[in-house]
Structure 1
Amino acid sequence: MKYAICNETFEGWDHARVCARAAEFGYTGLEVAPFTLAPLITDVSAARRTELRRQAEAAGVSIIGLHWLLAKTTGFHLTSPDAAVRKKTGEYLAELTRATADLGGTLMVLGSPFQRNLDPGVSTAEGDDRAVDTLSHCLKALEDGRVTLCLEPLTTAETNYLTTAAEGTALCRRVAHPFVKLHLDVKAMSSEPAPVADTIRANREFFHHFHANDPNLRGPGFGATDFRPIFRALADVNYTGWVSVEVFDYKPDADTIARESIRYMRECAP
């Protein structure tokens, strides 16, 4: 298993310190939320991107990519009825792709529930049409940067669009592009009728990236979810990507979250 952790876990920490502490606990990857760097990714200069990458590499950590791509931004929306907004959003995803490549990353996780919600009365099929149009504006950048965009299904408590792994798989199939794949998240999958392990196996075709967390919003091992069958399922589908810790409840503190999450995952790994 290759373990990574999301940088917003260490809220307020200097980037170099985050990298050093992650490496200290045994993580070899760091996943970055763009809003921790600047309000917009275009505000992060080429020189700063180079510095961030070098600081990570000096600590023995790779920046694996970006997530929370559209969080804390305005004017972007995946399923907007306005073609100009969709184009603007796709072009911003292209900018995020270029930044990911500059940082040394190879993937981006498209969650951002508020920036993809369907307006009342809009069908899932129409939402898919709009999402495909939006994504068409970043496909060339994905190819050029060799960066994979991973669509993240979320729960109905967070969004009304892409709320199951099967819907994420269906959209991947619609886009039909080698650099558009599926992201799976334990917290999100826990809301589906089938066990998490079965959902992983059922959606192996496009599965590319994985977030480890608990439905209680904390890290793996901090709740009731047993990760042993989940890790067996990852092995069954020959998953060789990153297992990245993403939490939404930052108690008790970043060090405890990082240390105990990886300790528990190592216990569960087959």
Structure 2
Amino acid sequence: MCFKNSKKARFFLTHVLNNMRSMKSSYPIFLIGLIFTICCSFMPDKQDYPRLGIVSGLAQDSLAYVSGFKMIGESVPKMLSPQLTDEQFNANLEKIKAAKCKVLSCNLFFPSNIKIAGPDVDEAKVLRYTETVLSRAGRAGVKFIVLGSSGARTIPADYNMVKAKTDFIGLCKKLAKIAGRYEVTILLENLETTETNFITSLKSAAEVVRKVNHPNFRLNADIFHMMRESEAPDEIIKAGKWIGFAEVAEKEKRSLPGVMGDDFKPYLRALHQIKYKGYIFIEGNIKNAATEIPVAFTYLSAQIAAVYAEPKP
């Protein structure tokens, strides 16, 4: 099998994508991954489409790597939290250094007992906590910290939403300055209404990022949450200037791409339209890692390649 140019390789990937379900039942998973790897090996070295990662943690490092991933996500509580002693953190540094995949991001930034929105924010406590987390992220080479933290940002039902947003933007400006010192980027994530009552759309998250207006505070376009909130792909286009990261999972059960067969191409086309070439991380529930992680890489990679092979809008 040999492709002399990227168009032929991507054409083949599109064919794989269109037949993915039947292939999964007819061919071993490793063969599907091998087909994609061969295709990619004949594509140009120039990176002209998003890079794919997975929030699987170091426990799945080897499996993620052989599945095709080169980047993984971990969590702040496990890797960077101030609750970890220096000895524990240094042990984590050794694990990160030895990993096959690059630990690029950490999620679960703030625990629910450290409020970052609403009437109970202790700003000094938040800033001390942030200083430790981001200084450790800088030492570990973790480039992105995802700010989801549903419990920490939930506000009382009767609280003034305008005041909550104004105060939150002011706090985020201070967080961004700390992030800049350690060359880390904080990524504000749009969540859904089943998780929190504060910033539950890409549109509202983009408004915050725009007002913070700092290069180390950017938007994480979470496609899973957009689908759950019935938010149109066009919101990605409107927020394009502020997007620094993207995450994805299947809508119904937050399963990995390929489990239910969700079509992400409308959202990927929106990313393509804004000429997004950053990172797309899979963040979902994993039931059978040995099966689902390899399929997720092949399935989503094929959708990305198919969309980015289309003429630019």
The aligned length equals 253
Partner of 1:262: 297
Partner of 1:202: 238
In structure 2, what is the equivalent of residue 76 of structure 1? 114
State the partner residue of 1:154.
191
Provide the C-alpha distance between the structure 2 equivalents of 1:132 and 1:219, rounded to a whole number of angstroms.
Answer: 33
Partner of 1:21: 63
Partner of 2:262: 225
Q: Is residue 2:156 matched to residue 1:119?
A: yes
Question: What letter matches 2:241 in structure 1?
Answer: E
Change (3 A) 1:50 1:36: closer
Of 16, 30, 44, 2:72 maps to: 30
- Structure 2 contact 155–198 (Cα < 8 Å) conserved: yes
Q: In the aligned structure 2, how far is the partner of 1:36 from the partner of 1:127?
A: 29
Indicate whether 1:108 and 2:145 are aligned: yes
CA distance in 2 between counterparts of 1:133 and 1:256 reads: 44
**Stretch deviating more after TM superposition (40-49 or 116-125):** 40-49
Moved more, 134-143 or 182-191: 134-143
Cα gap change, 1:198/1:224 in structure 2, threshold over 3 Å: closer, same or farther?
farther
Once residues 5 and 224 of structure 1 are traced to their aligned partners in structure 2, the CA distance between those partners, rounded to angstroms, is 18
How far did residue 42 of structure 1 move?
A: 4.6
Partner of 1:140: 177
- Which structure would you say has the larger RCO, counting Cα contacts within 8 Å and 6 or more residues apart? 2
Contact 2:55–2:283 (CA under 8 A) maintained in structure 1: yes
Return closer, same or farther for 1:219/1:118 CA change in 2, 3 Å cut-off: same
Inter-CA distance 266–75: structure 2 relative to 1 (3 Å threshold): closer
Equivalent pair of 1:78/1:130 in contact (CA under 8 Å): no
Following superposition, the deviation at residue 199 of structure 1 comes to 2.4
Name the SS for the 1:43 alignment partner: coil
Look up the SS of the partner of 1:219 in the other structure. Answer: coil
2:107 maps to which of 64, 67, 76? 67
Counterpart of 1:30, as a letter, is I
Give the partner amino acid of 2:247: H
Higher helix share: 2
Q: Counterpart of 1:52? A: 95
Query: Retained in 1: the 8 A contact 2:112–2:150?
Result: no
TM-score by length of 1: 0.86
- What does residue 11 of structure 1 align with? none
User: What runs of 5+ residues in structure 2 fail to find an aligned partner?
Assistant: 1-49, 307-313
CA RMSD of aligned residues (A): 2.0
Gap regions ≥5 residues in structure 1:
9-14
1:5 maps to: 54
**1:89 aligns to 2:126 (yes or no):** yes
8 Å Cα contact 2:176-2:186 kept in structure 1: no
Residue identity (%):
20
Q: CA deviation at 1:136?
A: 4.0
Cα deviation per residue 1:116-152 (whole Å; 9 max; x = unaligned)?
0011211321111221243244333211111111111
Asked whether the 8 Å contact 1:86–1:130 carries over to 2, the reply is no
Classify the secondary structure of the residue corresponding to 1:91.
Answer: helix
Is the 1:212–1:245 Cα contact (8 Å) retained in structure 2?
A: yes
1:193/1:21 Cα in 2 relative to 1: closer, same or farther (>3 Å)? Answer: closer
Aligned counterpart in structure 2 of residue 43 of structure 1, from 66, 71, 84: 84
One-letter code of the match for 1:23? Y
Q: SS where residue 82 of structure 1 aligns?
A: coil
The answer on whether the counterparts of 2:190 and 2:202 sit within 8 Å (CA) in structure 1 is yes
Rounded to whole Å, the distance in 2 between the matches of 1:121 and 1:174 is: 24
Q: CA deviation at 1:175?
A: 1.4
Q: CA distance change for structure 1 residues 232 and 74 in 2, over 3 Å: closer, same or farther? A: closer
The reply to whether residue 215 of structure 1 matches residue 251 of structure 2 is yes
Runs of 4+, deviation exceeding 4 Å: none
**Cα offset, 1:265, TM superposition:** 0.8
Counterparts in 2 of 1:165 and 1:175: CA distance versus 1, 3 Å: same
Q: Supply the distance in 2 between the matched residues of 1:203 and 1:225 (Cα, whole angstroms).
A: 23
Cα pair 1:152 1:182 within 8 Å, conserved: yes
Distance 1:140 1:184, change over 3 A: same
